[in-house]
Amino acid sequence: MTGPTLSDLVGAGPLLLDFDGPVCSIFAGYPAPRVAAKLVALLDIKGIAMTPQVRSETDPLAVLRWVGETCSHRLTAEVEDALCTAELHAARIATPTPFGHEVILGAHARGIPVAVVSNNSAVAIEAYLTAHNLASYVTPIIGRPYADPQSMKPDPRPVLDAVRVLGADPRACVLVGDSLSDIEAAHAAGVAAIGYANRPWKVAAFAAAETVVTSMEAIAEQLSS
């Protein structure tokens, strides 16, 4: 038995989009390794002992997650604030994903609700969408839970929050994401997942998704058909 096709998934109900990947490359102009290094430097100032793996981490979200697991809530909030500031700067110079904006506009044109569910901060997402005249087409924006990195995806709570705000049945929704954590969070919430494989290796890695696309163009075309 084959799974649902893209046409089965797109247009049937609310569309939930991850932000970094499907909508834009948030760290294209302000690289993620630089942001991660700034967070590590902050931890050094605070005198926090870190493993070599944390010191060499290139993903700022991974640094935040480690702090949340290892350090006090007060320090987690300080690192959260530093990351929010960095993300806000990054969002101003982020690179749009080809056809990512068209997906949002195409869904709006068809009366399909669009939400963003992201491990990035809501303030950065809102700034990006506002700068690109897309904010009025996206509700709700569910960003990273403040100073609570353990509640980021793959935890399903952000996805469930979006579904609840939309007043939708999870089974009617589909989430588009470019990471395994997106797919895991969607399925844990009872939502279908479209894997956006923006790297060749992700095609096979996203086997658990209902379907996989290698370009947001495929979704934009489906919405315009």
pTM of the model: 0.97
| CATH 3.40.50.620 for the 6-26+95-224 domain, yes or no | no
In the chain, DSSP finds a helix count (H) and a strand count (E) of 11, 8
**Residues 173-208: tens digit of each pLDDT:** 999 999 999 999 999 999 999 999 999 999 999 999
Each domain of the chain, given as residue ranges in start order, spans 6-26+95-224, 32-92
End-to-end CA distance of the chain: 26
The radius of gyration of the chain's CA atoms, rounded to the nearest angstrom, is 17
Q: What percent of the chain has pLDDT over 90?
A: 97
Q: Given this model, what pLDDT does residue 190 score? A: 98
**Residues 60-91: tens digit of each pLDDT:** 999 999 999 999 999 999 999 999 999 999 99
pLDDT band at 3 (very low <50, low <70, confident <90, very high): confident
pLDDT of 12 strictly over 90: no
pLDDT of 167 strictly over 60: yes
pLDDT of 2 strictly over 90: no
**209: Cβ–Cβ under 8 A, 6 or more apart, which residues?**
183, 193, 194, 195
Q: Given this model, what pLDDT does residue 127 score? A: 98
